[in-house]
Amino acid sequence: MTDVLRPGEAARIASEDEAVSLDELRLAARNHGMPLEALRYDLTPPGLHYLLVHYDIPFVDPATWRLTVDGHVGAPLALDLTALRAYPAVSQVVTLECAGNGRARLLPRPVSQPWLDEAVGTARWTGTPLSTLLREAGVREDAVDVVFTGADHGTERGVEQDYQRALPAAEALSDEVLVAYEMNGAPLPPQHGAPVRLIVPGWYGMAQVKWLRSITVLAEPYTGFQNEVAYRVRASADDPGEPVTRIRPRSLMIPPGFPDFMTRRRIVSAGSVELSGRAWSGRAPLTEVTVSTDGGASWAPASLGPVAERYAWRSWSATWQAEPGDYVLSTRAADEDGPQPVDQPWNMQGMANNMTQQVPVTVR
Amino acid sequence: MTDVLRPGEAARIASEDEAVSLDELRLAARNHGMPLEALRYDLTPPGLHYLLVHYDIPFVDPATWRLTVDGHVGAPLALDLTALRAYPAVSQVVTLECAGNGRARLLPRPVSQPWLDEAVGTARWTGTPLSTLLREAGVREDAVDVVFTGADHGTERGVEQDYQRALPAAEALSDEVLVAYEMNGAPLPPQHGAPVRLIVPGWYGMAQVKWLRSITVLAEPYTGFQNEVAYRVRASADDPGEPVTRIRPRSLMIPPGFPDFMTRRRIVSAGSVELSGRAWSGRAPLTEVTVSTDGGASWAPASLGPVAERYAWRSWSATWQAEPGDYVLSTRAADEDGPQPVDQPWNMQGMANNMTQQVPVTVR
């Protein structure tokens, strides 16, 4: 068994030829990606939506649950579920993606939750705008950060903690952030944060605090583990790095044809093949999606579907005249800030790796 | 990339020191176990129930779906969903478990879906008794096997197939088997077989055919891939082996305390610790559950909860006076045919491994 890390120790990087460890498998057996054929659904059914739980799924009794809003405010709040639901409700369709998506495709591989491409999902979230609660609590004008604490508890690299993340006050006060109590029109399932979670549209999953129990406004920068240590893009162990924030562009395709059980390699019949999928970016509006059938040597434009909501994925489609042979299919999104990389954007913790998908296919 | 197997090739066994392959990780990222803290729920929420999909989740339009019942019968049927729902409905609470549960704990490890301990879940399934449909179709008295075909399509060890499994006619005609269209009171989710699946209480998951589209009665034994090749307990590559049928006894505990993120090792406070979990067997009624706090050297009885329904798991609990130190906790179920093994019941394909769980814990 791998030893538990002590405070200050960096996460491990696998050696060049090291296969997946039992520690990583244990996480993969609990947490799960979205099977890519579920890209067909505008709204991902809850059990197919990707899921990452840092510690255990806590049981929170909705009857006794309370949300406190305090810190650098004039009038602290303590709300039960009935009080929270009494505010005007807002619904948004939002695509969520784990910041670690693509990590297990990196070489060398940072050792953590070993995602391939599938840590994504889209749902309609309903709740109270966070800004409503902050304003009602009398948030001070010089607020710097707003801290969100969940009911899930564990240790991580030697630091015992409730899961806790902060947002800059300006982001927290935007009209987009929700304190959500419904997913696709039903109360949140246990694994998605019941009874109440945060939804920060456009940001990676680490910001979407589940099992939310307190909101604390700070007059100084927050320096907790998940902001300062865990979710950073660091080139080396002594690089303080940049914080992980908004979702970089990505496009994924529904693998065409049918799979081999063990390798997931696809078998496709020759002829006209309709390729389709979804693309999204939390960073800037999408500008195009392209498709490659030669492993990324050349790219052809896909037809991009309409914008439904700003932070929801967009459908795309393209037609491929498939001749018998072996191929690697790929798709690439670009937003106003640029395209997905074809080569890996390696970093110490395997964060925000939006390298293009590769789908091996045999046409017969 | 691992090559796709050709027909007749056996599944691969990993070498003694071989870690998890990318092929196995790809399956683990799609399929998922039940996080063990969800043992607290009598009925597992759908997104937490274990999930194994051999190929892709097919999209089946409920409006055009038909179920045929034919073969060695006097009056073949073709039913739409309205016609199926018109029969009297029966509900049963059933614990389902994948036949490959525990596979990745075997040494050497058969290479397939790499389950640890968590491929289990319990739900209330509602549908029409299979015997009602078979009798209405005029099943012949000399029927031998009944074949169930799903809408999911793929290749497996070189054999292209729709997922298909047979049950002996006597099992198919028992009053227990359901043609189910609801899970926990709602229409089946896509990943659990929408719109209609088979539920064979007491049998491992391979019998629970999802996306069911046809039922064919045979006057001779069925010899298809999933019965004759895939789901067998074989000691060696040339051993024809025994078919995998009913679920062997197993007990699992909710890991106490809280976890370390990367290792999932538990941290528990010294003092009186309430241990709890669930136990089940599809083979014979449970007789006892025991608990070990010394890695299996000694066992103490747990308190076993009431029988709710014959094929639903039973709760158990035990109190542990925890002193500071490192421990391996374990739990063991026995049914009328005997207890779980403490040593691995190794076989070529890693089937029906019900070796006892091990939970490393540090008490502080």
pLDDT tens column, B183-196: 999 999 999 999 99
Q: How does pLDDT run across A155-207, given as a tens digit for each residue? A: 999 999 999 999 999 999 999 999 999 999 999 999 999 999 999 999 999 99
Tell me: pLDDT of A5 over 70. no
Domain B22-243 grouped into CATH 3.10.290.10: no
Banded model confidence at residue A11, pLDDT cuts 50, 70, 90 = confident
- Whether the CB-CB separation of B69 and B215 falls below 8 Å is answered with yes
The residue of chain B nearest to residue A4, with distances taken between CA atoms, is B263
The CA distance from B292 to B144, in Å, is 45
pLDDT category at A2 given cuts 50, 70, 90 is: very low
Q: What is the pLDDT of residues A240-273, one digit of tens each?
A: 899 999 999 999 999 999 999 999 999 999 999 9
What is the distance between the alpha carbons of residues B11 and B14, in angstroms, rounded to a whole number? 10
- In chain B, what residues touch A51 (CB-CB under 8 Å)? 32, 47
Instruction: Kindly identify which residue of chain A lies nearest to residue B47, measuring between CA atoms.
Output: A47
Average pLDDT taken over every residue of chain A: 96
Compute the average pLDDT of residues B94-103: 98
pLDDT tens sequence across B258-316: 999 999 999 999 999 999 999 999 999 999 999 999 999 999 999 999 998 999 999 99
pLDDT at A8: 67
pLDDT class of A43 with cuts at 50, 70, 90: very high
B24 touches B113 (CB < 8 A): yes
Residues of B in contact with A40 (CB under 8 A): 59
pLDDT tens digits, A336-349:
999 999 999 999 99
Q: What is the pLDDT of residue B139?
A: 98
3-class SS string, chain A: CCCCCCCCCCCCECCCCCCECHHHHHHHHHCECCCHHHHHCCCCCCCCCCECCCCCCCCCCCCCCCEEEEECECCCEEECHHHHHCCCCEEEEEEEECCCCCHHHCCCCECCCCCCCCCEEEEEEEEEEHHHHHHHCCECCCCCEEEEEEEEEEEECCEEEEEEEEEEHHHHCCCCCEEEEEECCEECCHHHCCCCEEECCCECHHHCCCCEEEEEEECCCCCCHHHHHHCEECCCCCCCCEECCECCCEEEECCCCEEECCCCCEEECCEEEEEEEEEECCCCCEEEEEEECCCCCCCEECEECCCCCCCCCEEEEEEEEECCEEEEEEEEEEECCEECCCCCCCCCCCCCCCCCCCEEEEEC
Q: Give pLDDT, residue B8.
A: 67
Q: Decide: B25 and A116 in contact? Cβ < 8 Å.
A: yes
> pLDDT tier at B1 (50, 70, 90 boundaries)?
very low
Is the pLDDT higher at B121 or at A5? B121
Chain A closest-CA separation from residue B267 CA (Å): 9
Report the half-sphere exposure of B361 (CA within 13 A, side-chain side): 28
Report pLDDT for B237: 84
Q: What is the pLDDT of residue A4?
A: 65
Chain A to chain B, count of Cβ pairs less than 8 Å apart?
201
A150: pLDDT strictly greater than 70: yes
pLDDT at residue number A1: 38
Contacting residues for A86 by C-beta, under 8 A, at least 6 apart: none
Task: With beta carbons under 8 A apart, name residues in chain B contacting A153.
Answer: 258
In this complex, do A48 and B19 lie within 8 Å of one another by their Cβ atoms? no
Q: What is the pLDDT of residues A226-240, one digit of tens each?
A: 999 999 999 998 898
| B5, B189, B260: residue with CB nearest A154 | B260
- Under DSSP, is residue B227 helix (H, G, I), strand (E, B) or coil? helix
The nearest alpha carbon in chain B to A23 belongs to: B263
pLDDT of residue A20: 87
Strand partners, B327: B361
Dihedral angle over CA of A363, B4, B8, B11, nearest 10? -150
CA neighbor of A137 nearest in space, from A199, A92, A209, A84: A84
* B29 vs A22, A32, A47: nearest CB: A32
Domain ranges of chain B: 22-243, 250-363
High-pLDDT (> 90) share of chain B, %? 93
Average pLDDT for residues A6-10, to the nearest whole number?
69
Domain B250-363 part of CATH 1.10.3720.10: no
Q: What is the mean pLDDT of residues A319-335?
A: 98
Residue from B188, B260, B266 to probe the interface with A (highest A Cβ count within 10 Å): B260
- pLDDT of A129: 98
Give the Å distances, CA to CA, from A342 to A110, A284, A316, B234. 19, 19, 19, 45
Q: Are A95 and A50 in contact (CB under 8 A)?
A: no
Residues in chain A within 8 Å Cβ distance of B153: 258
Q: Is the dihedral of CA B69, B70, B72, B74 positive or negative?
A: positive
For residue A194, the distance in angstroms to the closest alpha carbon of chain B comes to 12
Residue from A106, A260, A269, A361 to probe the interface with B (highest B Cβ count within 10 Å): A260
Grouping H, G, I as helix, E, B as strand and the rest as coil, residue B201 is coil
Helical (H) or strand (E) element with B267: strand B266-268
Torsion from C-alpha of B103, B228, B168, B207, nearest 10 degrees: 40
Calculate what percentage of chain B has a pLDDT beyond 70.
Answer: 97
Chosen for mutation from B16, B56, B118 (greatest number of chain A CBs closer than 10 Å) is B56
Using a CB-CB distance cutoff of 8 angstroms, which residues of chain B are in contact with residue A118?
29-30
Answer yes or no: do B57 and A51 touch at CB < 8 A: no
pLDDT > 90: percent of chain A: 93
Minimal Cβ distance to A48: which of B28, B104, B190: B190
Contact between chains at A155 and B104 (C-beta distance less than 8 A): no
Query: How does residue B94 score in pLDDT terms, banded at 50, 70 and 90?
Result: very high
Looking at the complex, report in whole angstroms how far the Cα of residue A351 sits from the nearest Cα belonging to chain B.
Answer: 16
